[in-house]
Amino acid sequence: MDNLKVVILAAGQGKRMKSEVPKVLHRVLDKTMVGYVIEASQEAGADEICVVVGHQSAMVKNTVKDMYDNITFAVQKEQLGTGHAVMQAGDFIKEGNILILCGDTPLITADTIKELCNTHSNEGNDVTVVSMIVEDPTGYGRIIRESDAFSKIVEQKDANAKEQEVKEVNTGVYIFKAEALNSAFAKLGNNNSQGEYYLTDTLEIIKNAGGKVGIMVAKDDKEFMGVNSKLHLAQASAVMKERINTEHMLNGVTITDPANTYIGKDVKIDKDTIVYPGCMLEGKTVIGKSCIIGPNSRITSSKIDDCVTIQMSVLIDSKVKSFTTVGPFAYLRPNSSIGEHVRIGDFVEIKNSNIDDGTKVSHLTYVGDSDVGKCVNFGCGTVTVNYDGKTKNRCKIGDGVFIGCNTNLVAPVEVGDRAYTAAGSTITKNVPEDSLAIARNRQENKEGWRKKVDKG
């Protein structure tokens, strides 16, 4: 649809969330609710998006700006209803096709938005509302029809006994021709039990002025689940989790326990990878084919190449190349790059470091701010001492180096190719290639010492 403008209503406080965080910033899996709505709009081809903010507007604005470009904002200083909220968009709604979405409906999809736009355009409607059929309509505005055509929308508190029996309800999603919307706003009042300016009333105003009002009945009412409490948040997360996991399984990924696997919307996984229970895959993570992930691993915005095994470990903003194993209980912190055929073992922490092919960091080791060559062997308990209290310094370790257990490498320091460090050494000077570095006191045995101590 040409000239599609989207207004996202995100001004509400969300008292039932019982939280200091604005309702629309609560997360479903790894993404804010308003973020899902913005992305669905973008995927559907929106030309411009305006988010109407109110409660804690600065927090909502800053969060959205950090995630997305080219979003404009309007501020609703007083909560005077949905119609009043859309009015605050001002010049944004003066022309084009105006799609109204709610920032607390994270399950809406781009396909549904596209279908709505097509229905609106093909039927030549001045406004089209999305309705849904529910068994329990309590709390929803009712869609009232006459001879199957739209008559009006009646809010729960304003509905009479007969109207309250209607099971076709308003989802809160509409698309207007801008001219019809603005003409209706000129006549919109607040003569209702809430004293608010209802956006729903604009549909009856448009109809009474001779405009055409259409209704699109939703195929899946779950898409329009409004999240108003932590219970609703959990329910929406369960729906999103099932939707995402199903897509991955249909694309050839094995998820051994979908109910206990949490994968973000932006995660990409190639075929024949196995994801075990308890895993959390988040952000812009990309996982290649034939990998084994889990159990109980968390991977955030990382790139994992083919045939990698990760066991019970945490990876954040890192890269792991093919045929490498990570874990159990390893921690790859941001800006870590791990080569092929590498072994990152148990209780190993890597931070802002490059580990080249064939290297083994098997257990109980910290490698931070380091550049490590090929086929290096780290003994147990090795530490790169990278912080002097003021600045972070780097270590450089060449190819084929053997680091003895309990070695401290005090950065900045370089260890040349094929060099060795003796167990228990604290290395403070560069080690030439093919050398053995020993940096510890010579052992001295004091025979009979214990007996002298015991005698006092």
| Catalytic residue IDs | 363
3-state secondary structure the chain: CCCEEEEEEECCCCHHHCCCCCHHHCEECCEEHHHHHHHHHHHCCCCEEEEEECCCHHHHHHHHHHHCCCEEEEECCCCCCHHHHHHCCHHHHCCCEEEEEECCCCCCCHHHHHHHHHHHHHHCCCEEEEEEECCCCCCCCEEEEECCEEEEEECHHHCCHHHHCCCEEEEEEEEEEHHHHHHHHCCCCCCCCCCCCCCCHHHHHHHHCCCCEEEEECCCHHHHCCCCCHHHHHHHHHHHHHHHHHHHHHCCCEECCHHHCEECCCCEECCCCEECCCCEEECCCEECCCCEECCCCEEECCEECCCCEECCCEEECCEECCCCEECCCCEECCCCEECCCCEEEEEEEEECCEECCCCEEEEEEEEECEEECCCCEECCCCEEECECCCCECCEEECCCCEECCCCEEECCEEECCCCEECCCCEECCCECCCCEECCCCCCCCCCCHHHHHHHC
Residue 272: C-alpha distances to residues 202, 237, 248, 254, 436 (Å) = 52, 26, 11, 7, 45
Question: Counting Cβ atoms within 10 Å, is residue 88 exposed (0-12), middle (13-18) or buried (19+)?
Answer: buried
CA distance 215 to 148: 10
Residue 256 is given by DSSP the state S
The residues near 162 (Cβ < 8 Å, ≥ 6 apart) are none
